[in-house]
Amino acid sequence: MLKDKKTTKTNDPLRHSSSEASPLRHSSSEASPLRQSNSPRFRQVEAGSEARKETGPIRHFRRQTFSPRTHALSVTSRSVRTEIAKKTAQPSRPAAAAEKGSVRFAALGGMEEIGRNCSFFEYENEIVVIDVGIQFPEEETPGIDYIIPNATYLESKKKNIRAIILTHGHYDHIAAIHYLIEKLGNPVIYTSAFTKAIVKKRHEEFTNAPKLIFETVKPGDKVKFSEHLSAKFFEVGHTIPESLGFVLETPAGNMASCGDFRLETDRSGKPHDLETFEALGKMDIHTLFLDATNAEFPGFTLSERVVEEEIEELIRNAKGRVIIAAFASLVDRLLEIIKIAEKLGRKVALNGRSMIANIDIAKNLGYLKEKHENVIPLQDIHKYKDEKILILTTGSQGESNAGLMRMVNGEHRIVQFKDTDTIIFSSSVIPGNERSIQSLQDNIARQVDEVYNSKLLDIHSSGHARGEDVKLVMKIIAPKFVVPIHSYYYKRKAVIKLAKEVGIEKDRVILMDNGQVASLTKNKFTITDEKVPASYVMVDGLGIGDVEEVVLRDRLNLAKEGMIVIILAIQHSNGRLVKSPDIISRGFIYLKENREIVEEMRKRLRAIIGRIPSYQKIEADYLKTLIREQIGQFVYNQTKRRPMVLPVIIEI
């Protein structure tokens, strides 16, 4: 079965990371059709909060317009990785380009982070792109709404792009499509009806982006994209309906990806419905691209049924209304809760834009066909007795402007808590949100008698395969090579051990970095020295990729050190101060308690102005530089801090 165990991949993960900083760095001067033309203006609208709940800290942003640009930002300030890379730099060796006639594979995101999933296969002049997702911002990128894949390479070959496959409807797999579709030449998007509906819904907000072209596929469908590339789709279990995996037939062999997936288990924890994977096992899979998000955790994924039974029990015992806070992206569970409510004779009211949108899509596609009239508008809840009501709401992570928070603060226009309410948190805690969720739960507990969270069960019932799931799938499919995807390096590395347990040796588990190009031939998987640009591209509400490093640095500095604004009103005729300088501090020191420092600053400002001869015209830029340097130094000497000093000169 396993024919060739040799691969010449580079085993050192850090070898390539430093190159992010240079040769391929995408300079802003690079020509781009979009940049030079009058860029169409896109609109960016609140993105619903569902996907960010799965992937990162929650921030909300305003409706804003922006124009897309193409220049990507290479975030060299991601210093840790770069530093380690420097320390472990290897002697250079001759570049090994992809073998002629080979299939090339590269990930533009998703290999060193959770999110920004995007990769492609390329054979001669045929390219198929897999997923175009976003990543939610990190602490290192304040003020950034999203990070999207760097499409530079694909843009340069957009004529060759024959298809985009979207595996499922989570934002970390689909939500950059609106920003990038034009750069990719607007190729046909192959995806399930459910994913299509979600993408289309969000695309309505991007009024100037081209209309998307979809080809809906179902499990079992086979599609020929181009002369040498075709794919067969299969369904996988995840947390949103119609999640797809695929087998891409290429001249090098069959490439299989399960997308985001988990195995379905029964009550006793035994996996079932393995036929799909068994079929793959007969297809002589060259490389299996495998979701490694939860591979580090032992055991099988806990059955979603167990979580649902627990929720059912809580609802059954509730005396008054039931309010359940959940992720809008966990559509499968929302649907299940609606069915449980129906069984127990409760009407369901939805609260939260993204939740309403997703349930609407599910309804339209027939996912609630039994008697979905038990879903009622929120404003109708007063028509029913409390024990007949269940409210499903977003905001389980303590997001400040989500529905749940408004209920907690007594500001919700329809729902006010009653002490007879039962509140259930049906969602795991996203790391980083612990504190806000804790205070949310405290606040609720002060107002109602029954508060539950199912977080312990939830952690074990995630939408991603755990260690045993991953092992079983590798064993059944028995591919020549395994490429763990969708996660950080250490999580992907966990797959090496698991693979060994099912007889797949270490040299056949390939850990790739973003941007590395692999060359695939019949019996070989080789990571070449070629790299395509994969640095971060930021979307900050104003534009794509126009957030320079200096802007990020300013934001970080402002957050850390605060700022001082100095306002100088200067007489135009003689260059003297009209009045004493105004000094405003934000996030630095409380001025009222530091009068001495403020007075000393004023004295120094007067001295700086005084040194300029009265006949000399005020050179505002020069004066500002002087003030920044001298006041900055003084403040540092006094406080050992470096706030941003912002002089404003008004000539009167």
Structure tokens given for 249: 């037939």
The residue among 170 and 178 lying less far from Zn ion, judged by its C-beta, is 170
The span of 144-152, 201-209, 254-262, 634-642 binding Zn ion (CB under 5 A) equals: 254-262
CB hemisphere CA count around 79 (13 angstroms) = 4
Region binding Zn ion by CB under 5 A among candidate stretches 91-99, 258-266, 397-405, 638-646: 258-266
Structure-token pair, residue 137: 């911002």
- Distance from C-alpha of 342 to C-alpha of 645, rounded to nearest angstrom: 61
Instruction: Please count the other Cβ atoms lying within 10 Å of the Cβ belonging to residue 67.
Output: 16
* 386 a catalytic residue: no
* Beta-strand relationship, 481-485 and 285-291: parallel
Per-position DSSP letters for 104-129, written without gaps between them? EEEEEESSSSSS--EEEEEETTEEEE
Q: How far is the CB of 222 from Zn ion (least distance, A)?
A: 24
Judged by beta carbon, residue 170 or residue 471, the one nearer Zn ion is 170
Q: Could you tell me how many helices (H) and strands (E) the chain has, helices first? A: 19, 27
Cα 572 from Cα 578, distance rounded (Å): 9
- Cα–Cα dist 199/366, whole Å: 18
Judged by CB, which is closer to Zn ion: 403, or 463? 463
DSSP 183-223: TTT-PPEEE-HHHHHHHHHHHTT-TTSPPP-EEE--TT-EE
The tokens for 303 are 């059955």
Please name the amino acid found at residue 338.
I
Q: How far is the CB of 238 from Zn ion (least distance, A)?
A: 6
Q: Which residues contact 528 (CB under 8 A, 6 or more apart)?
A: 95, 96, 97, 98, 516, 517, 518, 519
**Segment 86 to 145, residues that bind Zn ion, using CB under 5 A:** none
- CA separation for the pair 29, 590 (Å, rounded): 43
| CB-nearer residue toward Zn ion: 137 or 241 | 241
Could you say which of 464, 513, 540, 546 is catalytic?
Answer: 464
Burial (Cβ within 10 Å: 0-12, 13-18, ≥19) of residue 31: exposed
Residue 153 Cβ, how far from Zn ion at the closest point, in Å? 25
Residue number with CB closer to Zn ion (167 or 426) = 167
* Rounded least distance, CB 559 to Zn ion, Å: 31
**Whole-angstrom Cα distance, residue 601 to residue 564?**
11
**Segment near Zn ion (CB under 5 A), from 18-26, 86-94, 257-265, 596-604?**
257-265
Phi-psi domain of 325 (left: phi exceeds 0; alpha: psi -120 through 50; beta: other): beta
Provide the residue count of the chain.
Answer: 652
- How far apart are CB 240 and Zn ion at their closest, in Å? 7
- CB-based contacts of 442: which residues, under 8 Å, 6+ apart? none
Collect all residues with Cβ–Cβ distance below 8 Å to 425 and sequence separation of at least 6: 324, 325, 396, 437, 441, 451, 452, 453, 454, 455
- The candidate with the shortest Cα–Cα distance to 179, out of 73, 40, 68, is 68
332 binds Zn ion (CB under 5 A): no
Contact segment (CB under 5 A) with Zn ion among 120-128, 164-172, 349-357, 506-514 equals 164-172
Interface with Zn ion includes 16 (CB under 5 A)?
A: no
Least separation, in Å, of the C-beta of 247 and Zn ion?
Answer: 20
Nearest residue (CB) to Zn ion, 260 versus 540: 260
Provide, rounded to whole angstroms, the least separation between the CB of residue 516 and Zn ion: 23
HSE-up (13 A, CA, CB side) for residue 593 = 3
Q: Three-class SS of residue 317?
A: helix
178 is catalytic: no
Q: Would you count residue 170 as binding Zn ion (CB under 5 A)?
A: yes
Of 331 and 583, nearer to Zn ion (C-beta) is 331
* Binding piece for Zn ion, criterion CB under 5 A, among 260-268, 278-286, 498-506, 512-520: 260-268
The stretch near Zn ion (CB under 5 A) out of 167-175, 190-198, 342-350, 451-459 is 167-175
Residue (362 or 378) nearer to Zn ion, CB: 362
Question: How many residues make contact with Zn ion (CB under 5 A)?
Answer: 2
Residue with smaller CB distance to Zn ion, 52 or 170: 170
**Residue 124: C-alpha distances to residues 97, 101, 160, 226, 639 (Å):** 14, 7, 9, 11, 61
Shortest Å, Cβ 463 to Zn ion: 6
Residue 63: name the closest of 50, 45, 84 by CA.
Answer: 45
**Shortest spacing between CB 168 and Zn ion, in angstroms:** 6
Nearer to Zn ion by Cβ, of 243 and 276: the residue is: 243
Minimum Å gap between C-beta 170 and Zn ion is 4
Of 172, 291, 540, 546, which one is the catalytic site residue?
291
Beta carbon nearer to Zn ion, 50 or 540 = 50
Question: d(Cα 113, Cα 141) in Å, to the nearest integer?
Answer: 14
Cβ burial 384-398 (10 Å sphere, 16+ → b, else e): eebeebbbbbbbbbb
Pick between residue 9 and residue 170 the one whose CB is nearest to Zn ion. Answer: 170
Q: Are 156 and 149 in contact (CB under 8 A)?
A: no
Shortest distance in whole angstroms from residue 81 CB to Zn ion: 25
Name which position in 113, 182, 235, 260 contacts Zn ion (CB under 5 A): 260
Q: Which among 14-22, 165-173, 470-478, 481-489 is the span making contact with Zn ion, rule CB under 5 A?
A: 165-173
Whole-number minimum distance, CB 47 to Zn ion, in Å? 15
* Tokens 């027939």 sit on residue: 366
The count of other CB atoms within 10 Å of the CB of residue 607 is 10
What is the spatial distance between Cα 495 and Cα 100, in angstroms, rounded to a whole number? 30
Report the interface residues with Zn ion, using CB under 5 A.
170, 260
Q: Report the catalytic residues.
A: 291, 464
